[in-house]
Amino acid sequence: MHKLKKKINSLQVKCPNEQNGCPALFPLLRSEEHAESCAFGLVVCTNDGCPAQVMRKDIGDHSQSCEYWSEMCHMGCGALLTPANRDQHNCYMELKETYNKQLHKLRQKARRMESLSSQMSRQIQLLSEVLEGTEEAEGVLLKWL
């Protein structure tokens, strides 16, 4: 009896997914193991509401084109992306990021201008102090006028 069981278990069987194209041949004992990983076994699409049953080897392709595919926008804007809108999803988070970068640049520019103009007004101040303070400067000033 025991021997028979052993014999049965070591019997080479064909994969039940043979009609789907699976060429596997394995001991009966292994059939469960194989069924779980068989590339030709049918699996259900994990996308919510999708009725598709595809072979395990095709599930990757399927979920890329599955019309039930959906995913929250990775930018964190809260939008649910679907195949219908993912290509034209104009993410405002992305816009915001670009806007913030530009704003940052503008602020830097403004700061540079500010320090430049305060440098200039300091120089003008100094110049006028010098000019007011000396007779020589008065002469220069007169020539200019």
- Which residues lie near Zn ion (CB under 5 A)? 15, 17, 22, 24, 38, 40, 45, 47, 50, 52, 66, 68, 73, 75, 77, 79, 91
Choose between 94 and 129: whose C-beta lies nearer to Zn ion.
Answer: 94
Choose between 41 and 131: whose C-beta lies nearer to Zn ion.
Answer: 41
State the minimum distance, in angstroms, from the CB of residue 41 to Zn ion.
Answer: 6
* C-alpha torsion angle, residues 19, 20, 21, 24 (rounded to 10): -80
Distant-in-sequence contacts of 66-69, Cβ < 8 A, 24+ apart: none
Task: Round to whole Å and give the CA distance between 13 and 35.
Answer: 12
Choose between 64 and 135: whose C-beta lies nearer to Zn ion.
Answer: 64
State the minimum distance, in angstroms, from the CB of residue 23 to Zn ion.
Answer: 8
State the minimum distance, in angstroms, from the CB of residue 55 to Zn ion.
Answer: 10
Task: Round to whole Å and give the CA distance between 16 and 98.
Answer: 55
Tokens representing residue 8 in the block: 């049965």
Choose between 80 and 120: whose C-beta lies nearer to Zn ion.
Answer: 80
State the minimum distance, in angstroms, from the CB of residue 104 to Zn ion.
Answer: 21
Task: Round to whole Å and give the CA distance between 103 and 94.
Answer: 14
